[in-house]
Structure 1
Amino acid sequence: MKDGGRIAAAIEVLGEVESRRRPVQDALKDWGNAHRFAGSGDRTIIGNLVFDALRHKQSLGWQMQDSSARALALATYALNWQQGLARLEEVMADDRHAPEALSEAEKAALTTPRADAAPDAIAADVPEWLWPAFAAALGDNAVAEGQALARRAPIDMRANTLKASRDKVLKRLAHIELKETALSPFGLRVEPKPGAARLPHVQAEEGYRKGWFELQDEASQIAALVAGAKPGEQVLDFCAGGGGKTLALAALMENRGQIYAYDNDRLRLAPIHERLARAGARNVQVRDPRTGTLEDLEGQMDLVFVDAPCTGTGVWRRRPDSKWRLSEKALADRIEEQARVLDAAARFVKPGGRLVYATCSILDAENRGQIEAFLARDARFARRSAASAFAAALPGKPMPAHVSPEGHVLLTPASTDTDGFFLSVVARTV
């Protein structure tokens, strides 16, 4: 395919996402299945166009004075990919599969910056209804954080110290442009590439198949470190999902002690078994919600880790379509669910034990507000400083910029170059 046809395909996919409110990955997969002639390189470029258009949907629509799928795809190629008007016209004239020729209004929008300044929500590419809560959480840095959440995400990996050191993984993947992460002592990163460029398929590497490393954002790695799981402890990963943090905790515990991995959604939990085997994590017991209970664990855990279900506002770099599908009702539903999850998880913490609450959200209502409301409900628990836990787990590393007066920690792409991730620690005192 030529670029003109790729732009047309991106317009088609964006239209499907908008009109049917479909997850972008589903729309891209269906387009690929219906257009078998498109090679893997074509699909990569089309996907990059679509994702970048969604990342900057609001600011591009404002510049173009048109938020249609066509306007977003054209602006992504000409402006965000820095191809320019002349190149865009060239590829559209050179391909019978390209979209219709540009109108004079489109040419003007692609070459003339608007004289008026974009409102903050538009400049930040944050849904306007959500902007007050977003700005309240991030203050003067809100626009910069929104823009950082609209950029492409890196590929982050965690060296699995049950099988390999970070240096060993670096050497084995020397053919890939890897670097050490700034905060996590086990992290490795492939920086995002611009425009049509594709990232390496690291899961095809021998080291991945051998379990030497796992895909895991640096913020998630930091969350496991802050939890402070020690060899020999009894740990419950209460919302284990696919097991990323379970594996990180197992490595920190050196396969000693016991981790119980649980999730009330068995489909989210399904990948964990294969991942545990590949990683060599032997101190994990998976509790299937269909067949197992947790009653025998009540009041027995040194650590309960709660990576609570949330709106995912901190991972917009990876799921840009989700920010435009998020609704006020979805946020309210998540807040209610988080409160139920916290109350349920608290039953398993033993006296003197701790509960770590984390979300991949940047919103106060899901984070600081949620944990403070929990402490008001359950007098058995007292606040501990996640900032102090961060300093102890990552000695010599700079303290994140977003630390609340209570010691809660918020990691963000603009301040820590990670996904958005909230961390709080409480302890059971009686």
Structure 2
Amino acid sequence: MTPAAQVSAAIEILAGLAERRRPAADAIKDWGLSHRFAGSKDRASISSFVFDALRKHASAAFVMCAETPRAVMIGALREARGLSGDEISALFSGEGHAPAPLDAEERERLATATLEGAPAHVRGDYPEWLAERFATAFGESAADEGRALAERAPVDLRVNILKSSREDALRRLAHLGPEPAPLSPLCLRIAPAKGRGPALTAEPAYVKGLVEPQDEGSQLAALLCAAEPGEQVLDLCAGGGGKTLALAGQMHNRGQIYAYDDEGRRLTPIYPRLERAGARNVQVRAPRGAADVLADLEGRCGLVLIDAPCTGTGTWRRHPDAKWRIAPGALDLRIAEQQELLDKAPRFVKSGGRIVYVTCSLLIDENESQIARFLEGHADFAAVPTEEAATGAGLPELARFASPHGAGLRLTPLTAGTDGFYVCVLKRG
């Protein structure tokens, strides 16, 4: 397929997404199944066009003064890829499978339109209904934070210290050009690819469990748990096990981690991941009907991790379609789930133990406000100051990310180069 034909395919996929709210990856996969002539490189290029348009949807539509899939794609080619009007015209030639030629108005918009005077949510490419919340969280930096969330993310890998070291992993993956990331001592970073990224699952270092894909921010959240060998740990929202695996490494397979999730199906990926990583101190506790499968842990845990379900606003670099699918009702639902988990966790925390509350959200509603509410109702807990939590985890430099809105720390693509994360350590007296 020519690049112009790939752009046509991307516009077709965007049109389908406009008609039906669904993950972009599913729509791209379905398109590939119904257009089998497209090879793997074609599908990767089409996917890249689609995701660039989703990253820059608001600014692209503003520039072109239209919300149609065609207009958004034209605007995104300028805003996301930096193509000139002539370069875009060459893709929209109308020849073969190329999109129809640009009309006079489209050429004029490309030549003269700017984002000057556009609202922050347009300049930052995030939903208008979140504009007030972004302004509250970031003030005058809201548009800049949004733009950082609209960039392509690097590939971050966590070195599994049960099997390897960062130096060893760097040597084994040298052909991919990884670099040590700046904040996590376990993180390797591969720069964002313009097209198809590295096939990590085929790398021997991955197959043997020496490295695991995990954003540096997620790694830092796990490190701030400061899990000690020999501890009893409950991962209350273990899901696929990303942070469970990180904690197992910190604990050097000593002590016990109980991996639980109230949606048992979310635990399915954890089993092969534990085996590949060589993590032997993890018990998976899946729900069993009305049975209380965590009853024996009451008052026993030194650490309860709540990797809370959230809106995922901090992960838009990796899931740019998610920011346009999220609705206000989803935020209300997540807030209720977070409150339920925070109220549930103290049951399992022993005296002197701690809860670590983590989200990949940037919204105060899901972060500082939740902690303030929890502390009002649990006088036997106190938020650990960020400097103390960072120093206790051996990462004192993280103190500079202390939240200006309350307890805990905030990581964002703009300030930390990571996905967006919030972490707060709560200690029981």
Q: Give yes or no for TM over 0.5.
A: yes
> Residues 80 and 407 from structure 1, CA distance in 2 versus in 1: closer, same or farther, beyond 3 angstroms?
same
Q: Contact conserved, 1:218 with 1:418, CA < 8 A, in 2? A: yes
Equivalence for 1:76: 76
TM superposition shift of 1:263:
0.6
CA distance in 2, matches of 1:128, 1:390: 35
CA distance in 2, matches of 1:114, 1:91: 21
> Residues 94 and 330 from structure 1, CA distance in 2 versus in 1: closer, same or farther, beyond 3 angstroms?
closer
| Pairs within 5 Å for 1:122-141 | 122-141=122-141
Equivalence for 2:62: 62
> Residues 79 and 352 from structure 1, CA distance in 2 versus in 1: closer, same or farther, beyond 3 angstroms?
closer
TM superposition shift of 1:321:
1.1
CA distance in 2, matches of 1:352, 1:396: 22
TM superposition shift of 1:120:
1.1
Q: What letter is aligned with 1:104?
A: A
TM superposition shift of 1:221:
0.4
Q: Contact conserved, 1:4 with 1:92, CA < 8 A, in 2? A: yes
TM superposition shift of 1:396:
5.5
Q: Contact conserved, 1:243 with 1:272, CA < 8 A, in 2? A: yes
CA distance in 2, matches of 1:210, 1:121: 44
Structure 1 gap segments, 5+ residues each: none
| Pairs within 5 Å for 1:350-389 | 350-389=350-389
Q: What letter is aligned with 2:23?
A: P
CA RMSD in angstroms, aligned pairs only: 1.5
TM superposition shift of 1:383:
1.8
CA distance in 2, matches of 1:398, 1:60: 35
What is the CA deviation profile of residues 178-203 of structure 1, one whole-angstrom value per residue up to 9, with x for unaligned ones?
A: 11110000000111134xx2221112
**Match among 234, 237, 240 for residue 236 of structure 1:** 234
CA distance in 1, matches of 2:2, 2:92: 9
What is the CA deviation profile of residues 280-328 of structure 1, one whole-angstrom value per residue up to 9, with x for unaligned ones?
A: 0000000011377001101110000000000000001111111111111
CA distance in 2, matches of 1:93, 1:121: 32
What secondary structure, in the 3-state scheme, does the structure 2 residue paired with 1:397 have? helix
> Residues 116 and 94 from structure 1, CA distance in 2 versus in 1: closer, same or farther, beyond 3 angstroms?
closer
Of stretches 396-405 and 241-250 in structure 1, the one that deviates more from structure 2 is 396-405
> Residues 192 and 174 from structure 1, CA distance in 2 versus in 1: closer, same or farther, beyond 3 angstroms?
same
TM superposition shift of 1:92:
3.2
What is the CA deviation profile of residues 121-158 of structure 1, one whole-angstrom value per residue up to 9, with x for unaligned ones?
A: 11111211111111111223221111100111111000
TM superposition shift of 1:364:
0.5
Q: What letter is aligned with 2:33?
A: N
Q: Contact conserved, 1:8 with 1:98, CA < 8 A, in 2? A: yes
What is the CA deviation profile of residues 332-370 of structure 1, one whole-angstrom value per residue up to 9, with x for unaligned ones?
A: 111111100111122111111000000000000100000
Of stretches 88-97 and 321-330 in structure 1, the one that deviates more from structure 2 is 88-97
What secondary structure, in the 3-state scheme, does the structure 1 residue paired with 2:244 have? helix
CA distance in 1, matches of 2:23, 2:96: 29
What secondary structure, in the 3-state scheme, does the structure 1 residue paired with 2:92 have? helix
Equivalence for 2:281: 283
Equivalence for 2:47: 47
Q: Contact conserved, 1:362 with 1:422, CA < 8 A, in 2? A: yes
Query: TM-score normalized by structure 2?
Result: 0.96
CA distance in 2, matches of 1:63, 1:256: 57
> Residues 113 and 69 from structure 1, CA distance in 2 versus in 1: closer, same or farther, beyond 3 angstroms?
same
What secondary structure, in the 3-state scheme, does the structure 2 residue paired with 1:320 have? coil
TM superposition shift of 1:80:
2.2
Q: Contact conserved, 1:7 with 1:74, CA < 8 A, in 2? A: no
CA distance in 2, matches of 1:400, 1:420: 15
Q: What letter is aligned with 1:213?
A: V
Equivalence for 2:343: 343
Equivalence for 1:259: 257
Q: Contact conserved, 2:383 with 2:426, CA < 8 A, in 1? A: yes
Q: What letter is aligned with 2:286?
A: D
Of stretches 70-79 and 415-424 in structure 1, the one that deviates more from structure 2 is 70-79
Equivalence for 2:305: 305
Query: TM-score normalized by structure 1?
Result: 0.96
CA distance in 2, matches of 1:116, 1:144: 14
Q: What letter is aligned with 1:224?
A: A
What secondary structure, in the 3-state scheme, does the structure 2 residue paired with 1:135 have? helix
TM superposition shift of 1:85:
2.1
Equivalence for 1:148: 148
CA distance in 1, matches of 2:146, 2:405: 23
Q: Which stretches of structure 1, 4 residues or more, deviate above 6 A after TM superposition?
A: none
Structure 2 gap segments, 5+ residues each: none
Equivalence for 2:103: 103
TM superposition shift of 1:79:
4.1
What secondary structure, in the 3-state scheme, does the structure 2 residue paired with 1:175 have? helix
TM superposition shift of 1:115:
7.6
What secondary structure, in the 3-state scheme, does the structure 2 residue paired with 1:29 have? helix
Equivalence for 2:27: 27
CA distance in 1, matches of 2:394, 2:230: 21
> Residues 406 and 70 from structure 1, CA distance in 2 versus in 1: closer, same or farther, beyond 3 angstroms?
closer
CA distance in 2, matches of 1:422, 1:387: 15
Q: What letter is aligned with 1:141?
A: S
CA distance in 2, matches of 1:407, 1:74: 43
TM superposition shift of 1:87:
2.2
Q: How many matched pairs?
A: 427
**Match among 180, 197, 200 for residue 198 of structure 2:** 200
TM superposition shift of 1:116:
4.4
Equivalence for 2:248: 250
Q: What letter is aligned with 2:107?
A: K
TM superposition shift of 1:388:
2.0
What secondary structure, in the 3-state scheme, does the structure 2 residue paired with 1:4 have? helix
TM superposition shift of 1:395:
3.8
Q: What letter is aligned with 2:315?
A: V
CA distance in 1, matches of 2:115, 2:146: 22
What secondary structure, in the 3-state scheme, does the structure 2 residue paired with 1:305 have? strand
% identical equivalent positions: 49
Q: Contact conserved, 2:178 with 2:189, CA < 8 A, in 1? A: yes
